[in-house]
């Protein structure tokens, strides 16, 4: 069969893939939860589920392409944002089928994963995906609080426009004050965020903000330490994430 991935690239698959390498931590968790027997390789950043025992192929931005090819995968799963186009092209040039996802909203994530499991892998719709749709479906509520989502410091960077995380916080009823920024992950001046009417979310990834590293930069804005995985990953982590993030925000 030939199917078009999220970027409309035609991917030929003689049979549903049985040996899959994932270059995307979120999708690795989804695959390992749904059809673990098919997952043969993943990046060093693929930390969930805990105890995942598959061949590691280095990082998302610098995968060991020889190691990937040596696993003889039927399919490599990548993401437009997390992986380099150059690596995708080199794998395809080597004859390795690559399925690229493109995810900027929660609904897009659920639809993309639904296609991957139902159409590409032919394993049906997993229960966790049904539960995630139930939890995150429906219209975006009116915002009740202004937030900024920091992702790095020195230099400080935050979540801007057109991102999965931005859409997720909107669905929690939080307005990302940088949603109209010209960049998806703009550099920011801490002074511009240190406002009485703002809550600055400090996740533990990609930068590991902690109680001793991050909150001290703000004297007026309230800060909230939150799980980076629940805020930025799509997949099984979405189930229960709404309640967990809300509780962390309210502490």
In the chain, what is the greatest distance between 2 CA atoms, to the nearest angstrom? 59
Element spanning 247, H or E: helix 241-250
pLDDT at 4 over 90: yes
Q: Residues 39-58: pLDDT tens digits?
A: 999 999 999 999 999 999 99
Contacts of 98 (CB under 8 A, 6+ apart): 5, 11, 75, 76, 77, 78, 88, 91, 92
Q: CA-CA distance, 113 to 105, in Å (whole number)?
A: 12
Interatomic CA distance for residues 133 and 249, integer angstroms: 22
251 pLDDT higher than 90: no
pLDDT digits (tens, 9 = 90+) for 105-137: 999 999 999 999 999 999 999 999 999 999 998
What is the token pair recorded at 167?
């859409």
Q: pLDDT band at 240, cuts 50/70/90?
A: very high
Domain that holds residue 227: 145-250
Q: Which residue, 134, 158, 181, sits at the end of a domain?
A: 134
Q: Report how many domains make up the chain.
A: 2
**Whole-number average pLDDT of the chain:** 96
The answer to whether residue 222 is domain-embedded is yes
Q: Residue 250's pLDDT is what?
A: 86
């Amino acid at each position: 069969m030939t199917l078009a991935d999220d970027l409309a690239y035609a991917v030929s698959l003689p049979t549903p893939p049985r040996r899959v390498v994932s270059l995307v931590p979120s999708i690795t968790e989804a695959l390992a939860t749904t059809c673990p027997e098919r997952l043969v390789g993943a990046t060093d950043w693929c930390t969930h589920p805990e105890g995942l025992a598959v061949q590691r192929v280095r990082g998302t931005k610098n995968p060991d392409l020889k190691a990937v090819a040596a696993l003889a995968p039927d399919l490599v799963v990548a993401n437009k944002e997390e992986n380099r186009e150059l690596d995708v092209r080199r794998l395809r040039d080597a004859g390795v089928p690559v399925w690229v996802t493109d995810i900027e909203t929660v609904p897009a994530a659920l639809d993309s994963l639904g296609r991957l499991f139902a159409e590409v892998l032919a394993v049906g719709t997993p229960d966790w995906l049904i539960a995630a749709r139930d939890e995150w479906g429906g219209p975006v509520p009116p915002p009740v609080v202004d937030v900024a989502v920091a992702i790095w410091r020195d230099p400080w960077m935050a979540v801007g426009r057109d991102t999965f995380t931005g859409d997720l916080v909107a669905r929690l009823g939080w307005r990302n004050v940088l949603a109209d920024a010209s960049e998806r992950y703009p550099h920011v001046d801490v002074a511009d965020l240190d406002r009485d009417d703002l809550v600055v979310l400090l996740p533990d990834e990609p930068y590991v903000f902690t109680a001793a590293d991050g909150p001290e930069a703000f004297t007026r804005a309230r800060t909230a330490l939150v799980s980076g995985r629940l805020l930025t990953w799509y997949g099984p982590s979405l189930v229960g994430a709404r309640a967990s993030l809300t509780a962390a925000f309210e502490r």
